[in-house]
Structure 1
Amino acid sequence: MKIETKYDIASSVNIGAEYDKGVKKLFKSKEIIVPIMEMVIPEFEGCSQEEILNCLDLASITSDEVVSDAPVSETDEYRIRGEDTELSGGSDKLIRFDSKFRIRNPKLSEENILVNLHIDLEGQKSYTPKNPTYPIIKRGLYYVARDLSSQLGVTTGKTNYADLEKCYSIWICLEDVPVKLRNTMTEYRIRKEDILGETDEPEEDYDLMSVIVIRMGEKSEERGIFDYLNQVFVGNIEEIETYSHIEWEEEFKEDVAMTMTGFSDVLVRRGREEGRKEGREEGRIEGREIGQEETTVKFIWSLHEMDFTDDMISEAVKRPIDYVQDILKKDAPQ
């Protein structure tokens, strides 16, 4: 990508409008997906990231169908695409998946037998949606049930229940998480409980649906899924690479830096919300300014690491060049 093109993108970013699109774009990229699989999916316990990448069906990762006069982005060639992002059948409710893909189940697959996991990865702004209000877990269960049922029927040509493969629906919730639930991850799944007598049936015959809810909170000091996702949402490429060990393409780094600015409105709102809780006008102003300042600093460093000149960065962030140079004289944000 030409430096002029990167400059145009950086200068035209709208952080509010880009949020949802940015989440979906990142969750279709193998560089972001693989560490999540490593830290969240039990079937990959003990697997290296390279092994997980080899299990990933790159052709199956969803890509929203776009009707546009504009050419397809050159970065799309390393973004996974394939499975339908929409499901609708008969009188069923139409649902759209943020990112949906298949990945080989290393626990059940053998040399001549391929068994997949079907993964739905959702970025959710609010843990407590409004208009209408509903529990995220119920939506997750509905999504995973629909994903399972879609494996049989006219579309797939399969009718044998033995062909059903396990489905995961993973929900990453950023805001409106109750204090006692912040920085928690919970799995909801089907388990066997003998009521009378004891049975010994293969777990893979009934363990077919799992919903994992990741509830974000304050910045985590410990390395792990919460720290990784926080680094993703603020665009800290250097820290993200400490988690994502597979080879990154240069085009993807550029794409990440531009996409991440779409998440900065979360930081701004968090700062504003902290101010409201204090109940003082100065608290609201301070919270808003802290969020905006932190976002701007991280964006400046992202552009600097991609060899943008100080003048170009100044124009992109709408700040004086002296301000940009002062930021770059300090240590990069952690």
Structure 2
Amino acid sequence: MPPSEDQQTDELKKAYDAVCKKVLAEKGIIANILKSCVKEFEDSSIDEIVHHCIQGTPEVGTVLVEPDAGITRIQNVQTEDKSSTEGTVFYDIRFTALAPADGQPIELIINIEAQNDFNPGYPLLKRAIYYCSRLISSQYGTVFTKSHYEKIQKVYSIWICTAPTKAWSYTITRYSMKEENLIGQAEAPNSDYDLLTPILVCLGKKHYTELTGLLKMLNLVLLDNISSDSKVKTLSEEFKVTTTPHLEKGVAKMCNLSEGIEKRGISIGKAEGISIGKAEGISIGETRGETRGIVRSIKALMRKSGLTIDAAMDILDVPEADRPRYAEIIEKGIH
């Protein structure tokens, strides 16, 4: 039995996500992320980060790790932590990096996640904090053993969100632990408590030419509908990302898969939109409960077909004058 339209679309999306993670794992792209987001790299050049800081080859969701089973773990390639009590956690991209601190190198364990769903049913920030916690706890048995907690390495979990709410669009937010004296003036070394940092990097609906810095680069790579040649050229000229056959192939595949997903989503969406609309009893402008039905239809179409809110409203023929109201209702529901 041939796969259904939904199954084919899901396979396209899985393939796109896999290629997306590999492109983001390019050292030149990682270097730009580190320089803009991680304070230890603020004064380092892209070239220095690429050639002297990033350790080994960043792994992309390929290594199975079972801490509770006593399996030996390799620090640079651990992309998944599996615990009998905590379930399974997959890391999109994981690697270690050396950064200068007081003239001495320090080792950081860094995790980068690409996230399409800004409202997966829980605060995304809490998941980022959980990932940081797992990155620390999984150091036992590799970075340190017994009571040598002084060897714990600082961790970062950087989340790149492609479809945040309007309030979060085009923001980069970093969270960290801080010392607070309640009584007296005791002072611990910053390195003893500044050990985990979640970061949210949020994009939006703008074209990359309207942006600057890291947001421009990520928007270009992940969201903009332009040729793969143009993307690679801009990455090389503006962001000092070395052009490699692997990068060219990855970006080209991303563009092809994105186009396929869009075409298939629109095709499915037209049929589903009509079906959903009928099921919800939608008749624009007729019933008192129309708003709830239309909102539910828009959200269902976005969820099932992977369309943007604007594309979903296009398919449902929502009048232009009514669109801001529905968009606002859906965004408020996201919070």
Answering whether residue 166 of structure 2 is matched by residue 169 of structure 1, we say no
Say if 1:147 and 1:167, in contact at 8 Å, map to a contact too.
Answer: yes
Matched ranges for 1:203-218 at <5 A: 203-218=190-205
Instruction: Check conservation: 2:61, 2:91, Cα contact below 8 A.
Output: no
1:188 maps to what in 2? 175
Write out aligned runs for 1:232-271 (5 A): 232-233=221-222, 234=224, 235=228, 236-263=231-258, 265=261
Q: Render the CA deviation track for 1:130-173: whole Å, top value 9, x for unaligned.
A: xxx111111100000010111123x5563310101110000011
Between 263-272 and 216-225, the greater mean CA deviation after superposition: 263-272
The reply to whether residue 149 of structure 1 matches residue 137 of structure 2 is: yes
2:124 aligned with 1:140, yes or no? no
CA contact (8 A) 1:109 1:115 kept: no
- State the distance in 2 between where 1:118 and 1:49 align: 18
Q: 1:88, 1:251 → 2: CA distance?
A: 30
TM-score of the superposition, structure 1-length normalised?
A: 0.67
Residue in structure 1 matching 2:78, options 67, 74, 84:
84
> Relative to structure 1, is the Cα distance of residues 64 and 141 closer, same or farther in structure 2, using a 3 angstrom cutoff?
closer
Partner residue in 1 for 2:279? none
1:31, distance to aligned residue in structure 2 (A): 2.4
Structure 1: distance between partners of 2:217 and 2:86: 36
Pairing 1:223-234 to 2, within 5 Å after superposition: 223-233=212-222, 234=224
Corresponding position: 1:42 with 2:39: yes
Contact 2:115–2:159 under 8 Å retained in 1: yes
TM-aligned CA distance change 1:96 to 1:199, over 3 Å: same
Is 1:106 the counterpart of 2:100? The answer is yes
After superposition, the Cα gap between the structure-2 partners of 1:40 and 1:54, relative to the gap in structure 1 and judged at 3 Å, is same
Q: Is the 8 A contact 2:25 2:60 kept in 1?
A: yes
Query: Which structure 1 residue ranges, 5 or more long, are not aligned?
Result: 1-13, 68-80, 288-334
Alpha-carbon distance, 1:57 to partner:
3.6
Deviation track 1:220-246 (CA, whole Å, cap 9, x = no partner) reads: 513112111011113422222234315
Counterpart for residue 158 of structure 1: 145
> Measured at CA, do residues 238 and 152 of structure 1 come closer, stay the same or move farther in structure 2, by a change above 3 Å?
same
Once the 2 structures are TM-superposed, how far is the Cα of residue 24 of structure 1 from its aligned partner?
A: 1.7
Deviates more, 1:203-212 or 1:182-191: 182-191
Deviation at 1:55, TM superposition (A): 3.3
- Identity across aligned pairs (percent)? 26
Partner amino acid for 2:116? K
Q: Does 1 or 2 have the higher relative contact order (CA < 8 Å, sep 6+)? A: 1
Distance 2:315 2:246 in 1: 45
Kindly indicate whether the alpha-carbon contact (under 8 Å) linking 1:19 and 1:262 is maintained by their aligned counterparts in 2. yes
* Matching residue within 22, 25, 28 for 1:31: 28
Structure 1 pair 226–57 and aligned structure 2 pair: CA distance change class (3 A): closer
Counterpart contact for 2:176–2:194, Cα < 8 Å: yes
Q: Is the 8 A contact 2:95 2:109 kept in 1?
A: yes
Q: Secondary structure at the match of 1:254?
A: helix
Q: 1:120 aligns with which of 68, 90, 111?
A: 111
For 1:124 and 1:22, the matched residues in 2 are separated by 14
Judge conservation of contact 1:43–1:107 (CA < 8 Å) in 2: yes
Please say if residues 171 and 201 of structure 2, whose CA atoms lie closer than 8 Å, have aligned partners that are also in contact. Answer: yes
The Cα offsets for residues 58-85 of structure 1, whole Å up to 9 and x where unpaired, read as 4252144399xxxxxxxxxxxxx94211
Q: CA 1:145 to 1:272, structure 2 compared with 1: closer, same or farther past 3 Å? A: closer
Moved more, 41-50 or 101-110: 101-110
The AA in structure 1 aligned to 2:109 is H
Question: Which whole-Å CA distance do the structure 1 matches of 2:308 and 2:132 have between them?
Answer: 35
The AA in structure 2 aligned to 1:97 is: Y
Residue 182 of structure 1 aligns with an amino acid whose one-letter code is S
